[in-house]
Amino acid sequence: MWKGRFKEEQSDLLKSYGASVHVDWQLYRQDIRGSIAHARALLEAGILTSEEFRQIEAGLLEIRAEIEAGKFEFSQDLEDVHMNIEAELTKRIGAAGAKLHTARSRNDQVALDFRLWLRDACEGLSGGIRSLQVSLVGLAERHKEAIIPGYTHLQRAQPVFFAHHLLAYIEMLDRDASRLADASTRMDACPLGSGAIAGSTILLNREAVARELGFSKVTTNSMDAVADRDFACEVLADIAILGMHISRLSEDVILWSSTEFGFIELSDRHTTGSSLMPQKKNPDIAELARGRTGRLYGNLMSLLTVMKGLPLTYNRDMQEDKEAVFDSVKSASETLAIFAEMFDAASLREDRALAAASDPLLLATDLADRLVEGGVPFRQAHEIVGGLVAVAQETKTPLHKLDATEFAAASPVLTPEIVKATFDLRAALAARGTTGAPSPENIQRELSRWREQLR
C-alpha cells in the first residue's frame, strides 16, 4: 500500500497491533457497494474504460458472494476490510483493480462505509423496537381489564390498569425509534470524494455517487467529512437511552416475577433454573438485559473519549470507533428480539395483581379529592386524610373500614355514601378521564391508536 515510501518490512507486532480486519470485515457489503459507485464515477470521468468498469463491478460482486458464503480469507497483513477487498480484486483482474482507488482515500472510504452500515443498523433497530412495541400492546390487550398497584419510591401509590403501565414503556420506545430516525437524517450526507483531507484534483461527480448510494446530499467540507464521527456517537447515545428504558422494564419484570409480587408469569422457554435449588424459576433474560446496559453506556463513553482530543482531520485513534458501535448494535438488536418473544409468551396473574391493587390506602388521594369537592382546601384535606390513615394504622383497620364516626369526626363532608363510593376501585379508575390518565376509555383509545400506528 505504501511500499514506495518505506524500505523495510513492517514489524509483525505492528501488523498485529494495527490490524482491524477482525472487526471491520463486517463493513464488506457497504465497502463493495461504495466501491462500485466510485468506479462508476471514475468511468464517467474517463479514468476507467467501460471494460475496466465491468471487470471491477463483476470482481467485487464475486468477492461479496464469496464473503457471504464464508469462502473468503481475510489477511491481517492487509490491515482492514478495505485493503483486503482491493488487493484481492487487483490480484484477480490486474491493472483495472489498481485504478479503483483513484481520487479516493481510506479516510473518505471508511467514513462512507461506516455511515452506510449505521444507516442500515438504525433501520434494523427501529424494526426491533416496533416488534417489542407490538408485543407489549398484545400483552396489554390480553389483560386490558387488569388492575395493578402503581408505585412511587417502590411503595404502593395509586391503582392503574396493567395496560397503562405497559403503554408507558411503549411511549419510551417510540421516543427511542424517533431518536434513531433523527440520527439517520443527520448522517444522510455522502462523504465520498473528500479524499484524505482536501478532496482531489481529479473531479468526480459526487452528487451522482450520493444518489446511487441513497444519500440526499453530499458533505460540504472535506475536512469535517473525514474527521466526523458525531453520527456514531449519536447512535451510541440513542442506544444507551434505549438500554436504560429496557433496563427499567427489566427491573419491573424481575420484581413482578418474584414470589413477593407474583404478578407476572414468564414462560418456561424464557426462564432458567438453579443448579442447586430445584424450585427456582429465574428471569434471566431481564437480568442479562439490565446488566448489558452497562456495556451500552461504556461503549458510548469509549467513543466520546477517543474523539475528545483529536485535532483535524483523521487520526488513527479513530480506528477504535467501530468495535463499540458494532457491539452496541448487536447487543441492542438481540435484546429487542428476545424481549418481544418473552412478552408474547408472558401473562399476568390478574388475581394477585388485583389483590395488591385493592389495598384501600391506594385511594387515599381520592378521599382527599372528595373533601376538595366539598369545599375543603387541598392542604387541609391532605392533613385530614393523613390523620385517618394514622388511625387506621394504629388500630390495624383497613382505611375504608374505619367506623363512620371516625370519618364524620374528621370532616362532615365524608358521609357514609361518599366514603363507600370513593373506595370503589373500578369507579375510581373510571373517574380518571383526563388526557393521559388511566381511565378505561383512555386505555382502549391508546391501545387502538398504537395497534393502528404499529401495523
CB neighbour list of residue 124: distance below 8 Å, 6 or more residues apart: 329, 333
- Cα separation, 149 vs 359, in Å, equals 9
Distance CA 423, CA 294 (A): 43
Question: Exposed/middle/buried for 225, CB within 10 Å: 0-12, 13-18, 19+?
Answer: buried
CA distance 405 to 239: 57
Catalytic entry in 258, 274, 347, 448: 274
Active site residue 164: no
For residue 292, CA distances in Å to 122, 300, 327, 329, 331 come to: 19, 13, 11, 12, 8
d(CA 168, CA 107): 43
Neighbours of 380 (CB within 10 A): 13
Q: What is the residue-wise DSSP string for 84-134?
A: HHHHHHHHHHTHHHHTTTTT--HHHHHHHHHHHHHHHHHHHHHHHHHHHHH
Which residues does residue 272 pair with via DSSP β-bridges, in sequence order? 282
**How many whole angstroms separate alpha carbon 148 and alpha carbon 150?**
6
Angle, helices 284-307 vs 321-344, to 10°: value is 160
Question: Nearest-CA neighbor of 241 among 98, 129, 378?
Answer: 129
Grid cell digits, residue 257: 416475577
How many other CB atoms sit within 10 Å of the CB of residue 224?
15
153 is known as an active-site residue: yes
Q: Kind and range of the H or E element at 305?
A: helix 284-307
CA distance 450 to 73: 47
Instruction: Please give the torsion angle defined by the CA atoms of residues 290, 295, 298 and 299, in that order, rounded to the nearest 10 degrees.
Output: -130
Rounded distance, CA 442 to CA 428, Å?
14
Residues assigned a catalytic role:
153, 274
